[in-house]
Amino acid sequence: MTAGYNFAYLDEGTKRMIRRALLKAVAVPGHQVPFGSREMPLAYGWGTGGIQVTAAVIGAADVLKVIDQGSDDTTNAVNIRRFFARTTGVATTERTAEASIIQTRHRIPERPLVEGQILVYQVPQPEPLYKLEPRRTETRKLHGFAEYGLMNVKLYEDIAQWGRIDVSYDYPVRVHGRHVMSPSPIPAFDNPKMHQMPALQLFGAGREKRLYAIPPYTDVHSLDFEDHPFRIEPQGHACVLCGCTTSFKDEVPMDDGSTQWTCSDTDHCRSVQAGHEAEAV
């Protein structure tokens, strides 16, 4: 551990302030709770909200996994994992099943999470209505009155114009029939995983100074209409490494002009490959 800093970098008073805000967030699922976001030694937009949430909830016995784009090995994920390894000394892992806390940017792991696990999302823009109404003084009122007409009109206009809802990531959800919430920029493909998830889902937006949460076993519905139900479309490719056809794929252009598809979730890919090897033995 790095000398001269408190466990998990933040001082205990700050961590307690964040945990209090998180308790409120859990009590009102999907509601954005303002918090005294601190200046972190990593840049805004690079996960300062998620890092503060993780720092506030992590303990010495936790096992931490950090992913960016589904992968443990992208530079930002490496950097954040290194940060917590230095400032807490906790064990880290690349395996979804072994982790007690998973901090993520832009993905939900393919492997279903279980009770006792915490999924911490890095959130760039917690306000799901900001493209429709940029003034937070107004959006706060809209959430207060559950007045989501603006959003419904936007989705309706998409369908009228394109025949479909023109949102492929950060697809808005309604949490337990009350608050409309940004799921962070995960692909719409991942949205169904949030519904009735046994794990606790915590969301941190450092620059915007907001936290929110989805407690375990909470209803999370992607916004849609009765005659235009939300659906995810399969990408229609198999992973060149593990052969999986159901996971979310990265599209990798090759030098020869061809395209390869690989699992975005590297732990999922590795465990599917290991499964094949076990079958082959």
Is 263 catalytic? The answer is yes
Q: How far is the CB of 25 from another protein (least distance, A)?
A: 13
Q: Which is nearer to another protein, 100 or 247 (CB)?
A: 247
185 contacts another protein (rule: CB under 8 A): yes
What is the Cα–Cα distance from 259 to 237, expressed in whole angstroms? 11
CA distances from 145 to 38, 80, 129, 142 (A): 30, 38, 14, 5
Q: How far is the CB of 217 from another protein (least distance, A)?
A: 26
| 8 Å CB contact between 74 and 62 | no
163 contacts another protein (rule: CB under 8 A): yes
What is the Cα–Cα distance from 43 to 195, expressed in whole angstroms? 31
Q: How far is the CB of 207 from another protein (least distance, A)?
A: 5
Is 242 catalytic? The answer is yes
CA distances from 91 to 3, 62, 140, 194 (A): 18, 7, 40, 26
Q: How far is the CB of 177 from another protein (least distance, A)?
A: 26
Q: Please report which helix (H) or strand (E) contains residue 63, including its range.
A: strand 63-68
Alpha helices in the chain (DSSP H): 12-27, 48-57, 75-88, 136-144, 149-162, 266-280
Of 272, 268, 275, the closest CA to residue 67 belongs to 268
203 contacts another protein (rule: CB under 8 A): no
Build a one-symbol-per-residue string for 68-107: x at contacts with another protein by CB under 8 A, - elsewhere: xxxx-xxxxxxx--x----------------------xxx
Q: Which is nearer to another protein, 93 or 176 (CB)?
A: 93
Residues known to be catalytic: 30, 239, 242, 263, 269
Chain residues that interact with another protein, rule: CB under 8 A: 5, 11, 34-41, 43-46, 48, 68-71, 73-79, 82, 105-107, 124, 134-137, 162-164, 166, 168-170, 185-189, 207, 209-210, 233, 235, 240-241, 248-252, 254-255, 260, 262, 264
